[in-house]
Amino acid sequence: MNTTCDKVTLTLAEAAIVFGVNIRTLRSWVEVGRLVPASRAGRGRGHRMHFRRGDIAALMLAACPVCAGGFKRATLKQRFCSTLCRQRFARTKLDPSATAPEPGK
């Protein structure tokens, strides 16, 4: 859902503070292509990058596939909101009958 808040641009330092991420992390995401700056001013050491708040939020915020709760990712690899949800997912993956409805119901 696009809102006005998602279109607001933040500098690199502002984005790091708002989302609680290290500046180096944001720069590495730009280098590998996970995050694309909305605008760049200049090149080299003193250049400024601006990011859309919604683009960073899309990377940082996720929905748990087990409980459908929203959570802030600690790393980009994190898929579940808690250890309990991760364990529940693993159990249902190992035993598919645990989630299948009983015959006759």
- Cβ distance 35 to 83 under 8 Å? no
Structural domain contains residue 104: no
Does residue 15 sit in the same domain as residue 39?
yes
What pLDDT, on the 0 to 100 scale, is given for residue 85?
92
List, for residues 23-65, the tens digit of each pLDDT value.
Answer: 998 888 888 888 888 887 766 665 788 899 988 888 888 889 9
Does residue 46 sit in the same domain as residue 80?
no
Does residue 9 sit in the same domain as residue 54?
yes
The CATH number linked to 56 is 1.10.1660.10
Q: How confident is the model at residue 100 (pLDDT cuts 50, 70, 90)?
A: very low
Q: Using alpha carbons, select from 30, 4, 3, 1 the residue that is nearest to residue 15.
A: 30
Q: Which helix (H) or strand (E) holds 49?
A: strand 48-52
Does residue 51 sit in the same domain as residue 10?
yes
Does residue 87 sit in the same domain as residue 47?
no
Structural domain contains residue 18: yes
- Cβ distance 57 to 6 under 8 Å? yes
Supply the range of the domain harboring residue 11: 5-61
Confidence (pTM): 0.64
Dist CA 86 CA 42 (whole Å) = 44
Structural domain contains residue 105: no
- Cβ distance 49 to 30 under 8 Å? yes
What pLDDT, on the 0 to 100 scale, is given for residue 45?
60
